[in-house]
Structure 1
Amino acid sequence: MSNITKIKGLLVNQLTSKPIAISAIDFPTLRSMVKFTSREAQNYDPFVPIKDVSQVEKEVKNSYYQRLTNDKRVSNIYKFLLKEISNIYSSKTNALGSFPTSVIISLDLNQEFDTKKEYLEFIETAKKEEYIGAYYENFENNVELSVPDGKYGLIVDGQHRLMGMIKLYNDALNNSIKIGRKALTDEYPKLTNDLVLDYIKQFEFNCTILLGFDKWEQGKVFADVNFNQKPVNKSLYYDIFGSYPDPNKNDIFLSHMLAMHLNNNEDSVLKGFIKMLGSGKGYFSQAFFVEAILSHFRPKSIWASMPMDYLNDGDDYKILPKFFKSYFKATKEVFNEFWPKEDEDTSRKYPNILCKTTGMGALIKLIDPIYRKLKINADLKTISSGDLTTLLKSELEKAESKGKEFFSKEGDFSGSGSLGLQNKLYIELAKELGYIKK
């Protein structure tokens, strides 16, 4: 196998069961050892027996937690670095070209060998693709890591900083640095590509290294940094925490599974309607849809017991995919005039609101009184999907005459999709269906 990179640092005591180290790692070393990843929407249906197990296993194995890098942020970091290189080269006292917050990276740990000697002997004979993790030695909290050459580190936080520097490094290497449309010497006459390269090669990143954290634990760290400390796409949050069962977040887990089912199942009228990870084609975001469903899993709500039933492989939760598919199928059949047409395949092309945030938000709220009423007279566990759709249609048809007023682009609720507007539409629907007195 190839060479070993040695990294020295300190172990830090935090509220974790696994070791965390801090270290200063120079740019060439960090660039060579980490790979860039991004989370992608999973395409399997969690409520249908899996035919191609290997494909699903591959999707789950390669399921990361990072968002895609943003070109504008990378470009801003690129420009920032150039400005600060110019400042330090010109000996200006306002040169502050630093990244004081840590780049957080994660390394797998080797648990198989008792001594470093055994580890190194195995590394020498191991195949290149046979990565067995890093080895670390601890001397009174001074840590030395031995990391096989290759892109085995995952960036938990700091992708944009490193990507900005890599872009600048590559452009300097190819004599192609640009600031907008200007060449390097037009903006910074004293700088050369070689000079920029020298500064970048010497740059050290302040790094926090998570040792032996699995992807779920890495995702939790990522979420803590990005959702508690700075704003980020909420759909990404729900996708991360909805992908693994966790006793403290089993409601998110179940909501995410339902969203995947409705978006991926061939028999779902909502197939392809959800913007998984918050972007791409679709009419409403994953974050909105998951949050709307979550309201029914709260204490005293209609499905309060379902998340734990699902987590414990019970039977009660199995009504949910059937109910949701029947409910939205009934909605489509009753209000078909306002359902997206084939050529209205994006939210911009689709003029009505039935399948946008306002309409969907009101319809999901409406599930509560409809479900409570239906379960009094029907066994919703054993009822067929067809019969359930018929029952739901008989309820929704009471509001069919108000379809234009409720769901068209000219109607009273065509607007921004705010929670207030969703609630107003829900109230009017509930009145029309007889769940609230007029």
Structure 2
Amino acid sequence: MSSIKVLQVTQMGSKPVYLGKVKFSDIKDKVRLTQRQESDREQFQRRTDISRVNSISDFLGKHAGNVCPFATPIILALELENDQDLVTENVDKYLRSDEAKAVLINENGNNDLSIESMSYDLYIPEHKKFIFIVDGQHRIEGVRKFLKGQKNLEMDFEFLVTFLLDYDYYEQSLVFANINFKQKPVNKSLYYDIFGSYPGRNTFTFVHFLVKRINESVELGGIVKMLGTGKGILSQAFLVETFMKILDRKGVLYQIYKSYEEEDNASTDYLNISDILISYLEFYLINFKDYSPQRVEKEKYPGELVFSSYDYDGYLFKAVGMFGVLMLFNDLFENGNLTIKNAERDVVHERLNKAFNLFVSDPSIQDKLFNDPVLAGSGSASLQTRFYQKIYCLVFGKESFVSKFPRSSLDKIFDNDVCKVISR
């Protein structure tokens, strides 16, 4: 194969990237694409959207004029040969090997990359599926479809390309996330899943751990819509962002996170908190069944029982309700209703029964709390806060409510009957 002339670019001391151009015919059988599964550390792409592929193909079919249809580069990743000393004369022989990697030759005709060079020649092995698409999957597939429909079989298409050479999967995923999340809209759940799977311990990995534990538990398994798609009913992105807000409060959850971040091997608090969180959410499923999702059979998932968003009243397990439920979780520790040192399910449920005694067996108050028409709206931040205030007041009482929400009026969030009960 002929070489690709590339230029090296380094920004702010970063690992270099290489800019060049390739013809579709030269890469069409060598590119590979994987879609990200839940927290698969070696995959980060979105599913290929067939409608986008069709749209790009149609766009190219109608394109006319002097404006370049794709002025921004696609991003491709390749593994680079660093172990063997190669020169221009023996590159072709090396590339025919089944174990060959990409080769970068400098202006001096060798692959010593410690020597600065104005430009380089990039050689790609003939192996199929050797090149990984980091960004540009829809453009490549759109071009593929467009060219298949052309009568001129010799027609080809040139791409601008940014090559990532010897970027590992985590570095590739960071490039992908920075481009797609910060520069154009992308599924937030995918973004959080990428950073939550990154090595090390930080707020992303801690919160990602909590969300995964919820979704993989026996009690709540499958309730989270991981990556923003699939059979769950709670958005992964919503849960991550809500937990982040709780951490910002510097409460008990934040203290547990700090011990996790510092890799305090003697502390199991981060494991305990996830167990307590699962039991806490299960408590709602058990005690407020009329307002909670239950597992049902669905044609789309034969042989499985999955949570349904449509078979219960209210908003408890939607954004409006779940925000308040999770914020209250932190408050229950702050007020001594729950303790991190005892994560046994029965103990957690017993403590919650005491904390929720005002309404756990009162259907009329439950209906006013979980089925208020005023809150059955779009899930806006104001409605989320309003529900949080209501459940906080019922659990901790009027005095605590006034102290925590001094600008809110009790009679504005409850009718007179409930106000009388709370004020007893």
| TM-score bracket, shorter-length normalisation | 0.7 to 0.9
Q: Contact between 1:38 and 1:64, CA under 8 Å: does it hold in 2?
A: yes
Q: Identity across aligned pairs (percent)?
A: 32
The structure 2 residue matched to 1:257, chosen from 209, 227, 245, is 209
Bigger drift between 338-347 and 238-247 goes to 338-347
Summarize the Cα distance change of 1:394–1:291 in structure 2 as closer, same or farther, 3 Å threshold: same
Q: Matched residue of 1:23: which SS?
A: strand
Match of 2:369 among 394, 403, 406: 406
* Aligned residue number for residue 190 of structure 1: none
Offset at 1:74? 1.4
How do 1:15-34 residues align onto structure 2 when only pairs under 5 Å count? 15-34=12-31
Query: Which of 391, 394, 397 matches 1:432?
Result: 394
Residue 119 of structure 1, CA deviation: 6.9
CA offset at residue 291 of structure 1?
A: 0.9
Question: CA separation of 1:382/1:291 partners in 2, compared to 1, >3 Å: closer, same or farther?
Answer: same
Q: For 1:121-142, what per-residue CA distance to the aligned partner results, in whole angstroms no more than 9, with x for missing partners?
A: 665443xxx5x53221222131
Letter of the structure 2 residue corresponding to residue 41 of structure 1: E
Match of 1:188 in 2: none
- Which residue does the alignment assign to 1:10? 7
2:118 matches 1:168:
no
Contact 2:324 2:388 survives alignment (8 Å): yes
Say if 1:407 and 1:414, in contact at 8 Å, map to a contact too: no
Determine helix, strand or coil for the equivalent of 1:262.
helix
Query: Among 169, 173, 198, which residue is 1:244 paired with?
Result: 198
Contact 2:134 2:176 survives alignment (8 Å): yes
Quote the offset at 1:23 in angstroms: 0.5
**Native 8 Å contact 2:252 2:330 kept in 1:** yes
2:78 touches 2:163 (CA, 8 Å); kept in 1? yes
User: Shift in Å at residue 231 of structure 1?
Assistant: 1.4
Whole-angstrom CA distance in 2 between matches of 1:125 and 1:167: 31
User: Could you tell me whether the CA contact under 8 Å between 1:297 and 1:306 is conserved in 2?
Assistant: no
TM-score, normalization by structure 1: 0.79
Report the equivalent of 2:151.
194
Correspondence 1:217-296 to 2 at 5 A = 217-246=171-200, 250-266=202-218, 268=219, 270-296=220-246
Match status 1:384 vs 2:344: yes
Alpha-carbon displacement from aligned partner over 1:403-423 (angstroms, at most 9, x marks no partner): 212223x64422211221111
Q: 1:24 to 1:119 in 2, by over 3 A?
A: closer
| 8 Å Cα contact 1:259/1:286 also seen in 2 | yes
Letter in 1 for 2:118: N
1:96 aligns with 2:67: yes
- Give the structure 1 partner of residue 104 of structure 2: 136
Measured against aligned partners, the alpha-carbon deviations of 1:138-169 in whole angstroms (never above 9, x if no partner) come to 22131112221221222222111111111122
Partner of 1:336: 289
In the alignment, the residues of structure 2 paired with residue 30 and residue 120 of structure 1 have an alpha-carbon distance, to the nearest angstrom, of 17
Match of 2:253 among 303, 307, 313: 303
Question: How many Å apart are 1:101 and its aligned residue?
Answer: 0.6
CA distance in 1, matches of 2:14, 2:48: 30
* 1:73 CA drift (Å): 1.8
* TM-score under structure 2 length normalisation: 0.81
- Residue type of the partner of 1:257? F
- Give the Cα separation in 2 of the matches to 1:319 and 1:64: 30
**Greater shift in the superposed pair: 362-371 or 32-41:** 32-41
CA distance in 1, matches of 2:70, 2:83: 36
For the Cα contact (< 8 Å) 2:173–2:194, is it kept in 1? yes
Amino acid aligned to 1:137: I
Q: Report what 2:406 is aligned to.
A: none
- Deviation (angstroms), 1:110: 2.2
Change in CA separation of 1:102 and 1:124 when aligned onto 2, cut-off 3 Å: closer
Specify the SS of the correspondent of 1:22. strand
Amino acid at match of 1:280: G
The residue aligned with 1:318 is 271
Give 1:108's aligned residue.
Answer: 79
Tell me if structure 2 keeps the 8 A contact 1:102–1:205: yes
**1:101-124 deviations in whole A, cap 9, x for unaligned?**
111111122222132478766654
2:121 is paired with a residue of what secondary structure? strand
What is the distance in 2 between the residues matched to 1:387 and 1:141?
Answer: 69
CA distance in 2, matches of 1:96, 1:383: 63
- Alignment counterpart, residue 71 of structure 1, candidates 38, 44, 50: 50
1:331 and 1:393 in contact (8 A); partners too = no
Shift of 1:97: 4.5
RMSD over aligned Cα atoms: 2.4
SS in 1 for 2:3: strand
Unaligned runs of 5+ in 1: 43-58, 88-93, 173-192
Deviations 1:193-236 (A, max 9, x none): 323x433x1x2101111111111111111111111111111111
What letter corresponds to residue 105 of structure 2 in structure 1? E
**Residue 55 (structure 1) aligns with:** none
Pair 1:310–1:133, CA change in 2 (3 A): farther
SS of 1:194 mapped into structure 2 = coil
Q: Quickly say closer, same or farther: Cα 1:399–1:112, change in 2 above 3 A.
A: farther
1:12, 1:141 within 8 Å by CA — same for their partners in 2?
no
In structure 2, stretches of 5+ residues that fail to align are: 108-116, 297-305, 403-409, 411-424
Deviations 1:55-99 (A, max 9, x none): xxxx54xx3111112222212211111112xx3xxxxxx343520
CA deviation profile, 1:5-47 (whole Å, cap 9, x unmatched): 63221112323542211001011113222112211124xxxxx
Look up the SS of the partner of 1:260 in the other structure: helix
**Alpha-carbon spacing, 1:119–1:31, altered in 2? closer, same or farther (3 Å):** same
For 2:151, what is the secondary structure of its paired residue? helix
SS in 1 for 2:101: coil
- Higher relative contact order at CA 8 Å, sep ≥6: structure 1 or structure 2? 1
SS of equivalent residue, structure 1 residue 74: helix
